[in-house]
Amino acid sequence: MPQKEFRVGMIGYGFMGRAHTNAYKQVGQFFPSGYKVVLKAACARDAAKGKAFADQWGYESVETDWRKLVGRADIDAVDICTPNNLHKEIALAAAAAGKMILCEKPLAMTTAEGREMVAAVEKAGVPNMVWYNYRRIPAVTLAKRIVDEGRLGKVFHYRAKFLQDWTIKADLPQGGQGLWRLDVAAAGSGVSGDLLAHCIDTAIWLNGRMETVCGMTETFVKERPHQLTGKVEPVGIDDACTFMGRFANGSLANFESTRYARGHKALYTFEINGENMSLFWDLHDLHRLQVFDYKEEGKTRGWKSVHVTDNSPDHPYMAKWWVPGLAIGYDASFTHQVADFLQGLETGQPAGPTFRDALETQAVLDAVLDSAKSGKWVNVAKT
C-alpha cells in the first residue's frame, strides 16, 4: 500500500518522550496503515542529551529550540512531552504553523489555558489529541464497549484511585529533570493534574459529564530543596487529593490520588456499579476486566475475571498482537493511541481524546482544586 509520511517532531526526551517514541516505532509493525511514521527530529534544550536521545531512539536530527522544530517544513506532527507549563505556548505556536499536535496529559495548567489551546487548534483546523493512554488498554476499551451497549443499566457509582508512594522521602528535591512534577511552577498542580487527570478522563469517557465536586487536598511535605535554585523552597503542589462528586447521569463519584500510599507504585483502579452489572479494572493486573453480571443464571452468578487477550474482534486491539492468551503491556496503550490517531486521519473521524475532550477533564480538575481551597461544593464549568 503506498504510504504517506507522518513526520514527527518530538519535544522532550523524558519518560513520556520514550513512551511515545516507542509507540511510533511499534505502530507500523503491528497496526499498518496508509501512514509511515518518520522520526524526523527530537528537541531538547541540552544538545548532548538531545543527541543521546535521538541516537538511541532513531530520530534523524536534533533541535535545541522548540520554536525551530515547530517552524520546520519537514515536520507534520509535533509531540509535546515537556513539563506542563510549556504545553500551551508550544501548542499555540504549532497550531499557527499548521502542525498536527499530540500533547502529553494534562492538556494544560488550567481550564483557561486549555480553552486557548482548543481555540487555537480548532481555528487552525489541525488534528489534535491528548495522551490519556489508559483508555487504550484493551480491558479498559472493552469496559467502554460494554457500557456503550447499555449492559449496566442505570449507573449508581463510579470510583477510582491512583496511588503511588515515590515522594514520601522528605528530602527528595523538587524541580528540574525528573522532578519537575513536584514543582508547582512547572506542573501547575500535584497528583490532581498528574494522576487524577487519568482517572477523570476515563470516568468521563465511560460515564459521562461530571457536574459538581467537593474536594480536599494535602501537601504533606511543605518545603523541599529545589534542584534548579539550590534553595529550600515551599512546595506548592497537592501531594494527595480526594474528591466526591455527581455525574450528569445521577451517579455518585468517589476519587482518590496520592503519592503517599506506602507500597503502591501505580495502583490505578476504577469500578463502576450499575443496576445490572459492575465492572472493575486494576492497572497492576491490566489485561483483566472483572465483570459481575446480575443477569446471569443465579446458580453460577458471580464476579468473573476476563483475561482480555483473545484475538477475536471481541477483545479490542488484541488481534493485531500475538496468539490468544498472551498478554501485552502498558507500552501498548500508547501504540494503540498512535494507531487510532493515524486511522482517524484516514477516516476523517478524529480519535479522542481531542483537545476539546481533554478540556472537560481540565474543568473538573479546576473545580476540585477550587473546592479544596474554599471547602465548598463547586460546579464544573461547562466547556
Chain contacts with ligand SOE (rule: CB under 6 A): 164, 194, 198, 266
Q: Which helix (H) or strand (E) holds 159?
A: strand 155-163
Residue 131 sits at the vertex; the CA angle it makes with 126 and 135, to the nearest 5 degrees, is: 120
Q: Please report the beta strands in 164-312, taking only residues with DSSP state E, as ranges in sequence order.
A: 210-218, 223-225, 232-234, 240-247, 252-258, 267-274, 277-282, 288-293, 304-307
- Tell the residue number behind the cell numbers 459492575, with chain if given: 278
Least separation in angstroms between residue 279's CB and ligand SOE is 20
Do 175 and 326 meet the contact criterion of CB atoms below 8 Å apart? no
- Report the nearest approach of ligand SOE to the CB of residue 266 (Å): 5
Cβ-based nearer residue to ligand SOE, 27 or 283? 283
Q: How far is the CB of 224 from ligand SOE (least distance, A)?
A: 16
Cβ closer to ligand SOE: 194 or 357? Answer: 194
Minimum distance, C-beta of residue 70 to ligand SOE, in the bound complex (Å): 24
Nearest residue to ligand SOE, by Cβ distance, number only = 194
Q: Specify the residue, 198 or 287, whose C-beta has the smaller distance to ligand SOE.
A: 198
In terms of CB distance, is 16 or 62 closer to ligand SOE? Answer: 16
Based on CB atoms, which residue is closest to ligand SOE, 124 or 266? 266
Cis-peptide into 350, omega within 30 deg: no
Residue 115 to residue 383: CA distance in whole angstroms = 8
Q: Minimum distance between the CB of residue 292 and ligand SOE, rounded to whole angstroms? A: 27
Sign, CA torsion 15/21/26/31: positive
What is the Cα–Cα distance from 90 to 333, expressed in whole angstroms? 25
Closest to ligand SOE by CB, 163 or 244: 163
Half-sphere exposure of 72 (CA within 13 A, CB side): 22
Q: How far is the CB of 113 from ligand SOE (least distance, A)?
A: 18
